[in-house]
Chains A and B, each alone.
Chain A
Amino acid sequence: MLELRDISYEVDDGEHREILKNINLKIDDHFVAVTGPNGGGKSTLAKIIAGIITPASGQIFLDGTDITGMNITERAKAGISYAFQQPVHFKGLTVKDLITLAAGRPMKISEICDILSEVGLCAREYIDREINNSLSGGELKRIEIAMVTARGTKLSIFDEPEAGIDLWSFNSLIHVFERMHQEINGMILIISHQERILNVADKIVLVNDGEVSAVGTKDEILPMLLNAEGSCKTLMDKTK
């Protein structure tokens, strides 16, 4: 179980802004989606859980252990994986290199092939490709997801996996998450605006203006989202 207690985060870039305000959240479901308007604090929350951003106050517990003081590496080793919204480019490092680093052990070609095929990529074509802009946005996103599945940790965080990918990639991405929902043993926390992804979730958390404004099942939250004026414009636009 992941538990956030009184997490706050603020920035001071000329003007003082509270990005997250006393977030309290317990996540013990299999598949949780976090949604809400852009700029509401969702990505900041994910980065705080992964240790990339240090909160101003509050505590984070993973399966009862206080991980607040752990750095990124320690949290990764404790069982947290994080798929970036914008995948990072590397000069010289290949798909095989990163999948192997993610798995933390030497990998057979057949094992890498299994992981890549799960995200719809053929290993033969991709294994030696460099992680750079010769790959499309959709391909980079899938490799980002493949790294997380290669780790197979107790908590996998995906930050807007649908952002920046084409429609064809999006359709196969949905299948990836549907399959992950059925197969994965750990918890999945996915930040998304997409109704089709929210539909797969066991629980939806609505983050708005730095606060958790609602938590519930999709049957409880989705109608609220679609009816509440201004609560999530992106989602409404896409589902109209």
Chain B
Amino acid sequence: MDKIQKNLLEQVADLHEVPAGAYNIRANGQMAGRNSTANIEIVTKEDRQGIDIVIKPGTKNESVHIPVILSESGHQEMVYNDFYIGEDCDVTIIAGCGIHNCGVDTSKHEGIHTFYVKKNAKVRYVEKHYGEGDGSGENIMNPVTEVHLEENAYLEMETTQIKGIDSTNRVTRGTLKEGARLEVKEKIMTHGKQYARTEFEVDLNGENCSANVISRSVARDTSKQEFFSRINGNAACAGHSECDAIIMDKSCVTASPQLTANHVDASLIHEAAIGKIAGEQLIKLMTLGLTEAEAEQQIISGFLK
């Protein structure tokens, strides 16, 4: 693995070396490393690009790293990764995709991650998307995450895109059974002419299930962001979504929430706020000795922390 690839790995998965536990590293469409463990098996799909990650019931405190890196300009791929999480598991899954594009061609990664989470299992899923390179070729990333939670299962998803992705369409869908919980935390920053679209759709089907979606974003320069969320309450359930955006320069942000209650005991809330950095926040930090630019930087990094 060369320096560029190693840097991408560090950016998307905080990996400086081969991770402990199970992992699968995909570089320019090829397997660059894999390790299965006693409880976590990683298998190449036979019918299409991608892998199956099968985690045995009762596996606790184990992690899986599955980073994807693209360093060849113009490389385009569609990858299907399916996760089968057994009952009573408690595991962490670190995904992420980094693109280095120093050419003129478009590099594109489309990843479809499907989670089948069995009863009482607990999953923390972290994904980071990152792009770099001084070429004129675009970096495109279109991740799809499908989450199916069985009774009392819990999945917490942290998804971050801070830099270097020219265009993204991020789709997250979920179906929840009785007592299941889904927490999604999204952080996005766009700059230049970038475009980011986020789409959440959650079906709350089981009694006492709940979903909480929190999106924080910063749009700079002439970038454009769109946020769509649809929460469908089909039982006695709780759904909450929150879209909070800082708009700067000549950017554009759309927030379009939709709540549908199909059950009298469905409790659904949406909060959306779009606005520039409050002048009083800048002034406060300037009275502490920061310049306006330093104050702005602190406010943004705190907001996206």
Chain A residues with CB under 8 Å of B287's CB are 50, 52, 72, 76, 80-82
A47-66 interface bits toward B, Cβ cutoff 8 Å, 1 = contact, 0 = none: 00010100000000000000
A91→B298 contact, CB < 8 A: no
B290→A101 contact, CB < 8 A: yes
The verdict on A88 contacting B278 (CB below 8 Å), with A93-B299, A93-B302 known, is yes
Chain A residues with CB under 8 Å of B303's CB are 91-92
Is A200 positioned at the interface, with any CB of B under 8 Å from its CB? no
B280→A88 contact, CB < 8 A: yes
Is B244 positioned at the interface, with any CB of A under 8 Å from its CB? yes
The verdict on A147 contacting B288 (CB below 8 Å), with A93-B298, A101-B298 known, is yes
Chain B residues with CB under 8 Å of A84's CB are 280, 284
A88→B281 contact, CB < 8 A: yes
A72→B302 contact, CB < 8 A: no
Chain A contact surface mostly: mixed
B284→A77 contact, CB < 8 A: no
The verdict on A91 contacting B288 (CB below 8 Å), with A97-B302, A101-B298 known, is no
The verdict on A76 contacting B286 (CB below 8 Å), with A88-B281, A93-B298, A93-B299 known, is yes
> Of B244, B283, B284, which one neighbours A91 at CB under 8 angstroms?
B244
The verdict on A76 contacting B289 (CB below 8 Å), with A88-B280, A88-B281, A90-B281 known, is yes
Chain A residues with CB under 8 Å of B244's CB are 91
In the bound complex, CA of A92 to CA of B298 (Å): 10
> Of A50, A80, A91, which one neighbours B302 at CB under 8 angstroms?
A91
Is A73 positioned at the interface, with any CB of B under 8 Å from its CB? yes
In the bound complex, CA of A94 to CA of B285 (Å): 13
A52→B299 contact, CB < 8 A: no
> Of B280, B288, B298, B302, which one neighbours A76 at CB under 8 angstroms?
B288
In the bound complex, CA of A82 to CA of B299 (Å): 19
In the bound complex, CA of A50 to CA of B305 (Å): 30
- Nearest to A87 among chain B residues (CB) is B284
Is A19 positioned at the interface, with any CB of B under 8 Å from its CB? no
In this complex, which of A52, A90, A91, A102 has the most chain B Cβ atoms within 10 angstroms of its Cβ? A91
Is B265 positioned at the interface, with any CB of A under 8 Å from its CB? no
Is A141 positioned at the interface, with any CB of B under 8 Å from its CB? no
Is B291 positioned at the interface, with any CB of A under 8 Å from its CB? yes
In the bound complex, CA of A80 to CA of B289 (Å): 9
- Shortest Cβ distance from residue B181 to the other chain A in the assembled complex, whole angstroms: 22
Is A104 positioned at the interface, with any CB of B under 8 Å from its CB? yes
Is A151 positioned at the interface, with any CB of B under 8 Å from its CB? yes
Chain A residues with CB under 8 Å of B284's CB are 84, 88
In the bound complex, CA of A98 to CA of B302 (Å): 10
- Nearest to A104 among chain B residues (CB) is B289
Chain A residues with CB under 8 Å of B291's CB are 73
- Shortest Cβ distance from residue A188 to the other chain B in the assembled complex, whole angstroms: 16
Which 8 A-B residue pairings sit nearest by Cβ, starting from the closest?
A92-B302, A93-B302, A72-B286, A76-B289, A88-B284, A92-B303, A82-B287, A92-B305
19 pairs across A/B with beta carbons < 8 Å?
Answer: A52-B283, A73-B286, A73-B289, A73-B290, A73-B291, A76-B286, A76-B288, A80-B287, A90-B281, A90-B302, A91-B216, A91-B303, A92-B301, A93-B299, A93-B302, A98-B288, A101-B290, A101-B298, A147-B288
